Amino acid sequence: MLAIAIAAWVVMFGIVMVRHHRNFGTFAFDLGIFDQSIWLMGEGEGFNTVRGLHTWGHHASVGYYLFVPFYWLGAGPLFLDLSQLVILAAGAIPVFLLGRDLLKNEWVALVPALAFLIHPTNQWFLREGFHPEVVAITPLLWAVLAARRRRWVAYAIWMTVAVSFKEDIALAAAMFGVVLVVRGHRRIGAVTIVAALGWLAFVSTVLIPAYSPAGDFYGQFYGDFGDTPTEVAWSVVSRPGDTIDRLTDAGFFGYLRKLGGPLGLLALLSPLTLLIGAPQVMINLLTVQSFTWSTWYHYAALPLAACTVATVEGLARIRRRALLIAMVIGLAVVSVTTAVVMGVSPASGYYREGYWALAPREAQELMEQAVTYPGSDDTVAATYNLLPRLTHRRHIYLFPNPWMTLDWGVSGENPHDPTTVQWLVLDRSKLDPGENELLDEILEDGWTIHLDEAGIVAAEHSG
């Protein structure tokens, strides 16, 4: 039953995601960033020109190397999205196995596994596209299962894989170390805490500063709380009133309800396990950027993993058989209902609300034509929606970069020379009035226009 459900889920969302990509529904931030980063790794290089940062100055995503061999064989952005779909869906397997171990009944264990699979937040992760912390959910769940079974070598391997995808995951690993210590596995827990925090310290004080001298671009997310993790942590402790105000403004309880509600709020029965996701919840809700407060984006990946594990453990705390069965039935009803009401699958009301590019645009053929003009080694500037088709090159810019810095580096430092751009591949509908004026000015001098129809532009520098 679980295998059938996972297969059906992968096929259903796979079809939607392929259509979405082919209809130019995927975008530069963040799929274009990740795609170029992994392609560059395969070429032995590392400066990401979509983001204006070296890959290691952006994130410590060593796990990208697992995808590099596929890129040597021709993989690209759609491969990343579909890989995330398969890996995330496979996360239902360790959830099921953990439930079977703790609940002593395969049919009961099936319910939380399926609830995880169809969780609305997991659906939105698929809509958003590939992100390393979302991919890390499944190895993190396998690590938790291995720890429960006291298979410490497997635990170390799975936790290492999880942490390799992004530095934030080290905080979840450290908190799971705390959980292990409390539950009597003091040595393993202590090693986990030291290793996780040691890696995080190395990344934040050595690796990222070495490749991003201008600082950590996330620093600007926290306003007057500070620019570094230490400053933010001190502000949280020393300014409790401001911290409470920030959490209130971000909708703290609503955020937790959206994560835990589709799991029947059963995670509350195992509060210790919720510590795994607690640091990321604070990181997300203390920012001044409202998009990190949403459960629709990858920022909610670790909190969702924690809620899922806590849900299974919470069910295991219910000793009365009749009550357990009632809770499991309730979980099934709530899970299906919220998946339909809050999700973005073909069964959801959000499905046809414009979040997916389900049909070709009128300019579809022109867009397909435009992305074929640049050669494989040409330097290109492209718009948000066309860029993911052009990222397998050393220099690909998100227009209006490099003429004017926008979302480049930490604060626009070290802009590149616009005279090096050989091709413009643009969709005017994605440009604001000022950017369209800039484009017109650029095209007046030294450019050969190969295509300019229905707002789709492909122009070659002829100077």
Domains of the chain, residue spans: 2-352, 364-461
For the stretch 358-388, pLDDT in tens is 999 999 999 999 999 999 999 999 999 999 9
pLDDT value at residue 376: 92
With a CB cutoff of 8 Å and minimum separation 6, the contacts of 340 are: 347, 348, 349
pLDDT at 32: 96
CA angle 393, 425, 449 (to 5 degrees): 125
pLDDT of residue 22: 96
pLDDT at position 344: 97
Query: So what's the pLDDT on residue 329?
Result: 97
Asked if residue 139 has a cis previous peptide bond (ω within 30° of 0), the answer is: no
Residues of the chain falling short of pLDDT 70: 463
The confidence score (pLDDT) of residue 349 equals: 86
- Tokens matching residue 326: 């009632």
Would you state the pLDDT for residue 24? Answer: 96
- pTM of the shown model: 0.95
| pLDDT number for residue 431 | 96
> What is the number of residues in the chain?
463
339/119 Cα distance (integer angstroms)? 6
